[in-house]
Structure 1
Amino acid sequence: MSGDPVAPALPRLAFTLTGIAQLSVLLLATAAVGTVLAWGFSWITAAENLAFGYLTALQWTALVLAGWQLISVIGKWLLVGRVRPGRIRMWSFRHFRFWVATTLVRSAPAARLVGSEWQRWHLNSTGARIGRGTVLLCSTPPVPDLLDIGPNCFVGERTLVAGYRPAPGALLLDRTRMGAGAVVGDDCVLEPGSALGDHARLADSASLQPGQQVPSGQSWHGSPARPVDTELPNLPQLITQPRVSQRVRQVGYAWLQLVAWIAGLAAVATAVSWLGRFLLVELLSAAADGSAFGLPLTLAWSLALSGAALVLALLAAFVMTALPRAVAALSEDSRVFPLPGGRWSLVRLVRAWSNLSWPNALFSSSVLAARRLRLLGWRLRQRPGGFEAFGELIGQDNPSAITWGAGSVAGDRVWIANIECAADAFRVHPARIGTDCSIGDQVTWPSAARLGDSCEVAARTAVPVSGPIRIRTSLIGSPAVETDRPASERTEWGRSLPELYRQLADRARSDLTTTGLQLLVSWIWITLALTGVQALTATALPGWLISSLLIVGVALIRWSCWLIAEAIARSAIPARPVTFAIRDLRFSRHHRARRLGLEPPALLSGTALRPLWWRLRGAQVGRCVFDDGAVLSEPRLAQIGDQTMLGQGAALQSHETKNAAYTLAEITLGERTVLGNRSLLLAGTQLGADSQVAADAVLFAQLGAPGSSWLGNPATQIVPATSVDQPSNQPPAAQPSARPARSRGEDHSRPARPRKQRTPKPTSAEKPIPTEKPVAVAKAPAARTKKTKRPKATPPAVAPAALVAEAPLPTLEPVPSSPPTPAEEFTLLGTSFSAERIMVPRLSATVAVFDLSPTPLMDLNLPQALTGFGIPEECLEDDLSLRDAPISPSAEIRSLLARILLRQLLSTAHPEHRPDEWGFIRSSGGGLSPFWPTVDASVSLGRADAVVVAAIAAGPIGVAVRAETAEPGLEPSAAQWLSPDEWTRLTASPRAAANASLTRMAAVKNAALKAISEWGPAAPTELDALAAADAVRWRSPGRSERWLPSAAWPIVAGGVRHWVAVVGPVGSWFEQDEAQEVSQNGWH
């Protein structure tokens, strides 16, 4: 990357020689394909009429498929024999033979017949051991020798069973085993060395890391996988056995599938051959004419033919888009059918037609995407001025069983999985996406999703399929961690419908221009290709050579046209980090460059030629990079160091779609970085040299030091085991746990039930990815708070004593047990509701506390409550959606009452403004701030099940409230927030443990995070709530130590003790020189 030689001469020479050998193999394969095509063209066109031509095409197709299959099987055994677990050095002769063998296995005709007996027979003939009755809906595994699957197993779609994984300078191979009756869900990753016992089950969007084993009869989920907390939904089962046995149905379905495939390919071969002969005869006479009109006539013919081809392609795309809607009606919702069978054939046909790549790429990320999906059969809800945004490559199993809520948006590569399958049965189950939902990139949405309206799903998140229906919830990770979803910021768009429609019209014009440019580029390269066809057919070269040159020439012309078009489109867009909304014209222009881009051919995966493709598209790629099929969403924003290893399906996604906002940022990989299979790096991620990312790990703008290792979703840094071999007083974040505690929202969580303290036993879920470095363990992910935009990188866990040995710890002062001033009761807007107003002079803040325990929240009606408080409905348009639910859940009622409380509190401080005049927006840090009327004040809100609080101050401030459990010292959500200093005090000092309350500390830290959100991100473990009685110490890497004034006091609501905490304003913090006085004497 820097221009200095990094790789030694031998690896660079080996890389070059391997690339030359791989290019030679591809050229030889092209010559072989050209020879076969030339033979078929001459044989089919020599028939007397079209009928005899079709019969000839049937024979030719059957011979070609049989020969191709034999070459694939025999070639694999001749090249590598039986593959065994071990290590293959990169760019060696063994690696070259391994690449050729895996390419043959994956490209065989039987490997394309996914889910049939032909695929199982093909894998068994190349070394696998797969029992009868097993159904594999995933792509064919490339290393079948290392695959051992029992009978009656099922592997879902888009699941990766690679058999090998990247490591520094090598590929590691190991076996993958599945017991009888095991089930693997959709979009999973099975790493080499993983196993499932008999009748074990792995949920959707999960991963098994090397060495992990699911015991027999158990169900696991997550990445890395762990036992489920609640039972997964039942798989479809046949109530009555069909009259035809499953074995007969499988064999019959396989032969019918083969016959249909041969008949279809023969029809295509016949049409192409006869049409090509007619056109070439007509065009050849004009091309061979030496007159002045020969070349213009040839170009005119090419333009006319290419234009006609595009028109026919558009008509065919329209018909193929509308057909699934008619055929899908034959599959009844929620009825169980046998697999395979006639209904299964229709379902697979509908799936193939509705996910055609060319129409999807032509209309994706545009206003036409919604129209195409509606034509497919989606039920799209829409509100006046609404906008349903869809990213690239949106896919579905059955389009007629999908309901899409109004105002919902989806990122790239979202898949709606509304077909539930087992090894012998399936059913089509309707999938519903609620209103105002935000679905991140690469999310698989199951039909059994337990999500309602206004939910936000982060990238690659496992959507929950059990438990209560979540409403207004943010989810991240696998398994998903839930927090309250803040209200979306809508102020950058016009509030009037004419303004909204004007923005939509501008966006529509830009999207139509992009679609026109795509068709124009297609027209140009097809015209040039036809011109080249005429020029080659006019020569006296042999037929096999003409066919080979045509394949190479057409590919080069197509690639060149798209690369030039993308370069022109990107030249008008600056390659820099930026954030804009999805309705902005900049979003449309950015996606114009993306839609004009061309992904590298699949044949280049794993070769030394693929990095060259990314360089042509603007990426900064170092030397000797191994790319086994990675995806770079914005190549110009990717920097990849020398000798980097990119696993299968690894994605460098330099953008993030969230709450109708689009963010671009660079991704940097240091030298010798290793990205595991299906790993995902989001915008802003930077990894140092020699970093390693495990399979299926998701990094949200993480900053990794050189040599760091990452595991999980969301990814956390794993550290050497010696870091945790310390006394038992270290934080639990550094200790492995078989079931990490579920993170909770800061203010919306209910009081936790008393739990017995147990010592977690390590399981295989905590095993690190094997490397040559010391053994590592995974650090439990830190709890995400409501205001955090995305998980941030945290330093590796080390012994707390190493952090605090540099200075003596101050003495703890008694915790205040009463409010700063006596509470003053006031009536809320003249109604029967009353609240308490408390002054905090030390912070120049006013706090209002509203006890909800005597209020029947679920009986409240939102419109009636608004009328009773005298606030018009449109005043809370940015806070709540009141259109679809006249009876709102209690969470929305609490949010409503908190904002009403805040309005009256502001009107009390500013009597010149009525409560219904205030309006709020979300600031960049996630907090609220009044935007009208303009006042010099900051506000903050906090909620619990029985209490809502509001605070106002002259500067940024934070307020929080938390309910205390019967045993607060055992509350896991608070324990995970403790800093190393706090753990040292609590475990070393009995007096400290007696005076401390984890609930109070959690409330104080919650309020502090809100107060400092405008000044940058902070982690709870950077805050110390025990250093002083009325101050919070903030130790952030790269910054001087800060102290923030705080106040906390207990209240009783609903028979439960709560802690109310206020921190700030930030402008009153002080530096290190005053720390000793505050820690000893308190804040004065």
Structure 2
Amino acid sequence: MVNESTDGPSGGTGENDIPVTGGGESVASLERAFAELLAKVMTRTEPIPADGHFFADLGADSMVMAHFCARVRKRADLPSVSMKDVYQHPTVRSLAAALGADAPVTSAPAPRTAPVPTEAPLPGSTARYVLCGALQLLFFFGYSYVLVLATTRGYQWVSRGSGPLALYGRAVAFGAAEFFGLCAFPIVAKWLLIGRWTAREFPVWGLTYLRFWIVKVLVHANPIVLFVGSPVYVLYLRALGARIGRHVTILSRSVPVCTDLLTVGTGSVIRKDAFLLCYRAHAGRIQTGPVTLGRDVFVGEHTVLDVHTAMGDGAQLGHASALQPGEAVPAGQHWHGSPAQPTEVEYLRVAPARCGTGRRAVFAAAGLARSLLVVLPLTVLVFAVLWAKVPVLGDEGKLSGLELSSATFYLNALVLSLVLFFGFVVVGLAVVFTAPRLMRRAVEPGVVYPLYGFRYATHRSIARLTNVKFFTWLFGDSSYIVHYLQRLGYDLSPVEQTGSNFGSGVQHESPFLSSVGSGTMVADGLSLVNAEFSSTSFTVARTAIGKHNFLGNHIAYPAGGRTGDNCLLATKVMVPLDGEVREGVGLLGSPSFEIPRSVERDSRFDHLRSGDELHRRLAAKNR
């Protein structure tokens, strides 16, 4: 887990950003110190003018100023400078005046519940490092061998069935046995190797770390993750030791590791891409600590809750936000940002619906039945038939009869892999382009539906089918991604082709409610949040991004985002949900603040944006 810096471009000032107090001499000394550091960063021999604008006059950019902020933070005699300070006070004189004069702190970090450790990094040990790596490799090979052996024997047993009913019965039995085995093994391993997780710390690469790593790998590589968003997933976390109340909805696929340290109160909602791992790596140690959520808590998308964090009953944490070690959100309050701070924005934006325990139980049972009686048996039957009938695998899958040194064996293997690969591509594209379109009419925008029913299952099916990572990896970062997204259902208006309009990590809740204006380019990792959830209900709404925008990496863009045309949205920015619609500006940080839309360096490649040179380079990139 990566902890975001409180002083970087995430915006806001951290708890260490305490203004230096004093008179004119303090401000003057700050001016000299800032000017000297900035000159070194920009490798300038002439003095930095005190009234020179960092961007307009001196030609600096955000990367240069981030380097400057880092240099300042290394000086214990200087106040910490954040990127927000730089943009709000874009000259040496105004920056020194703001940080050197008495001024109230505009926003305080969330109250702390525990002290933050500041230990020095542990000295490394090559022997311990190598031994731990060797044991990890040994576990990997051992686990893989047992899994492949069991799967191979199971396929052979299924393929020897006589008649369709016998084949289906054996497929159900084998699929269920392997499924429950894979689900139960991490639970058993956790209780045998760890017992109950407690708040503690231990060095990396030791035997304790090895046990931690084994449990972490097994918990994450588990088929039950496919049931995220279902009560089945909540039951799985409870079996691992998590204390989770009734009617909790968890949509994040990031599985908590130290589950005994996770407490979630009744009626809480945790949106997708939220991280509540209950551990972190710091200074050569693994630190485990509790994450405690009260009743009716809302945790937004792209959030991080570090160790020793808490949220009171009815509290909300907005999208693209973080609680750092020891921070707590008081009951009933709304917070957002990194570091988090109070806000009046309402993030729980869907009315409740009737959704009782019985409805949840039926939905969970139906999901398990579908997997055990339909999905797994069909998968097992396909592979069992291939195992028994395809010549490259030998007579009834007996590898002893194969001539591994024969060129025919490798030719057959190549042909089989090509047929399977391209068959999957063709059939897969046909399914994702047609099935979701048939299902979309079951879920109308703006209508509030109860969770765990037919509409909810349909919505989840649309999201899964249209977010197959294989296809975004296949078409992403190329000219083909826009055509793929349009076929899925995106409204992209007239596309201005850049050869990489969306990167390779775009995702959404519904492609049919996703609009991106002409000329907009996305770096990577865009998540279009066009569904709203409570613990009992959900609704879908259109998410629209304006024209001629540039979006950085890993942005969660919610429905109702208050940005229009010609905006620059920086990496991991929090898209505002209140205030006027921003146009012709840049937004940086969480919570976001305005910066210039562009600087002089952005026009250096304008001659490549059109004409024959653009077409030539696009063709070369696609090849």
Considering the TM-score relative to the shorter chain, is it more than 0.5?
A: yes
> Match for residue 251 of structure 1?
361
Tell me the CA shift for residue 325 of structure 1.
3.5
- Give SS of 2:255's match: coil
What letter corresponds to residue 340 of structure 1 in structure 2? Y
Alignment match of 1:396 (pick from 497, 500, 508): 508
* Inter-CA distance 288–55: structure 2 relative to 1 (3 Å threshold): closer
What letter corresponds to residue 248 of structure 2 in structure 1? T
Matched, 1:270 2:381: yes
- Give SS of 1:445's match: strand
Tell me the CA shift for residue 179 of structure 1.
0.5
* Inter-CA distance 385–236: structure 2 relative to 1 (3 Å threshold): closer
Matched, 1:317 2:428: yes
Matched, 1:170 2:170: no
* Inter-CA distance 152–384: structure 2 relative to 1 (3 Å threshold): closer
- Give SS of 2:178's match: helix
- Give SS of 2:153's match: helix
Tell me the CA shift for residue 50 of structure 1.
3.6
Distance across 2 between alignment mates of 1:68 and 1:483: 50
Q: How does 1:293-308 map to 2 (within 5 A)?
A: 295-308=406-419
> Match for residue 144 of structure 2?
30
> Match for residue 562 of structure 2?
450
Tell me the CA shift for residue 448 of structure 1.
1.8
- Give SS of 2:125's match: helix
Alignment match of 1:48 (pick from 162, 183, 188): 162
Tell me the CA shift for residue 385 of structure 1.
7.6
Alignment match of 2:578 (pick from 461, 466, 472): 466
Tell me the CA shift for residue 364 of structure 1.
0.5
Distance across 2 between alignment mates of 1:474 and 1:223: 18
Distance across 2 between alignment mates of 1:378 and 1:315: 20
Matched, 1:154 2:269: yes
What letter corresponds to residue 383 of structure 2 in structure 1? V
Tell me the CA shift for residue 510 of structure 1.
2.5
> Match for residue 518 of structure 2?
406
Matched, 1:328 2:443: no
Distance across 1 between alignment mates of 2:412 and 2:124: 53
* Inter-CA distance 296–164: structure 2 relative to 1 (3 Å threshold): closer
Tell me the CA shift for residue 487 of structure 1.
7.7
Matched, 1:86 2:196: no
> Match for residue 303 of structure 2?
188
TM-score (norm 1): 0.44
> Match for residue 227 of structure 1?
342
Distance across 2 between alignment mates of 1:99 and 1:290: 38
TM-score (norm 2): 0.75
Return the structure number with greater strand share. Answer: 1
Tell me the CA shift for residue 384 of structure 1.
7.2
Post-superposition CA distance 1:228-280 (Å, at most 9, x none): 1x332552114xx54xx421111111111111222202211111111221003
Tell me the CA shift for residue 128 of structure 1.
1.1
What letter corresponds to residue 204 of structure 1 in structure 2? H
Q: Is the 8 A contact 1:128 1:148 kept in 2?
A: yes
> Match for residue 96 of structure 1?
210
Post-superposition CA distance 1:576-615 (Å, at most 9, x none): xxxxxxxxxxxxxxxxxxxxxxxxxxxxxxxxxxxxxxxx
Distance across 2 between alignment mates of 1:147 and 1:290: 51
Q: Is the 8 A contact 1:187 1:206 kept in 2?
A: yes
> Match for residue 217 of structure 1?
332
> Match for residue 127 of structure 2?
13
Paired residues, number: 498
Distance across 2 between alignment mates of 1:458 and 1:484: 11
Post-superposition CA distance 1:907-931 (Å, at most 9, x none): xxxxxxxxxxxxxxxxxxxxxxxxx
Tell me the CA shift for residue 281 of structure 1.
6.8
Alignment match of 2:553 (pick from 431, 435, 441): 441
* Inter-CA distance 338–70: structure 2 relative to 1 (3 Å threshold): same
Q: Is the 8 A contact 1:58 1:266 kept in 2?
A: yes
- Give SS of 1:30's match: helix
Distance across 1 between alignment mates of 2:507 and 2:123: 45
What letter corresponds to residue 350 of structure 1 in structure 2? I
Distance across 2 between alignment mates of 1:78 and 1:282: 38
Distance across 1 between alignment mates of 2:423 and 2:561: 39
Post-superposition CA distance 1:810-869 (Å, at most 9, x none): xxxxxxxxxxxxxxxxxxxxxxxxxxxxxxxxxxxxxxxxxxxxxxxxxxxxxxxxxxxx
> Match for residue 462 of structure 2?
350
Alignment match of 2:351 (pick from 234, 237, 242): 237
Matched, 1:432 2:547: no
> Match for residue 509 of structure 1?
619
Post-superposition CA distance 1:776-817 (Å, at most 9, x none): xxxxxxxxxxxxxxxxxxxxxxxxxxxxxxxxxxxxxxxxxx
Q: Is the 8 A contact 1:474 1:484 kept in 2?
A: yes
Q: Is the 8 A contact 2:345 2:577 kept in 1?
A: no
Q: Is the 8 A contact 1:205 1:462 kept in 2?
A: yes
- Give SS of 2:563's match: coil
Distance across 1 between alignment mates of 2:319 and 2:482: 27
* Inter-CA distance 225–306: structure 2 relative to 1 (3 Å threshold): same
* Inter-CA distance 303–426: structure 2 relative to 1 (3 Å threshold): same
* Inter-CA distance 431–122: structure 2 relative to 1 (3 Å threshold): same
Distance across 2 between alignment mates of 1:505 and 1:483: 32
> Match for residue 180 of structure 2?
66
> Match for residue 500 of structure 1?
610
Q: Is the 8 A contact 1:105 1:111 kept in 2?
A: no
Distance across 1 between alignment mates of 2:604 and 2:283: 48
Post-superposition CA distance 1:298-323 (Å, at most 9, x none): 34433332332232022023113303
Name the larger-Rg structure: 1
- Give SS of 1:82's match: coil
> Match for residue 371 of structure 2?
261
Post-superposition CA distance 1:38-61 (Å, at most 9, x none): 221121011013442122111111
Distance across 1 between alignment mates of 2:415 and 2:139: 36
Distance across 2 between alignment mates of 1:34 and 1:91: 28
* Inter-CA distance 327–295: structure 2 relative to 1 (3 Å threshold): same
* Inter-CA distance 311–169: structure 2 relative to 1 (3 Å threshold): closer
Post-superposition CA distance 1:83-109 (Å, at most 9, x none): 110111221211111222222333343
- Give SS of 2:553's match: coil
Q: How does 1:126-141 map to 2 (within 5 A)?
A: 126-138=240-252, 139-141=254-256
Matched, 1:337 2:452: no
Post-superposition CA distance 1:306-358 (Å, at most 9, x none): 33223202202311330333323432112111112111111111111111121
> Match for residue 382 of structure 1?
494
Matched, 1:109 2:223: yes
Distance across 1 between alignment mates of 2:575 and 2:543: 12
- Give SS of 1:380's match: coil
Return the structure number with greater helix share. Answer: 2
Distance across 1 between alignment mates of 2:599 and 2:217: 49
Distance across 1 between alignment mates of 2:596 and 2:440: 37
Deviates more, 1:107-116 or 1:329-338: 107-116
- Give SS of 2:382's match: helix
Gaps spanning 5+ residues in structure 2: where?
1-120
Distance across 1 between alignment mates of 2:321 and 2:393: 57
Matched, 1:418 2:530: yes
Distance across 1 between alignment mates of 2:132 and 2:558: 43
Distance across 2 between alignment mates of 1:35 and 1:111: 23
* Inter-CA distance 194–276: structure 2 relative to 1 (3 Å threshold): same
* Inter-CA distance 110–300: structure 2 relative to 1 (3 Å threshold): closer
What letter corresponds to residue 368 of structure 2 in structure 1? L
CA RMSD of aligned residues (A): 2.7
Q: Is the 8 A contact 1:83 1:145 kept in 2?
A: yes
Instruction: Tell me the percent identity.
Output: 25
* Inter-CA distance 289–80: structure 2 relative to 1 (3 Å threshold): closer
Q: How does 1:731-746 map to 2 (within 5 A)?
A: none
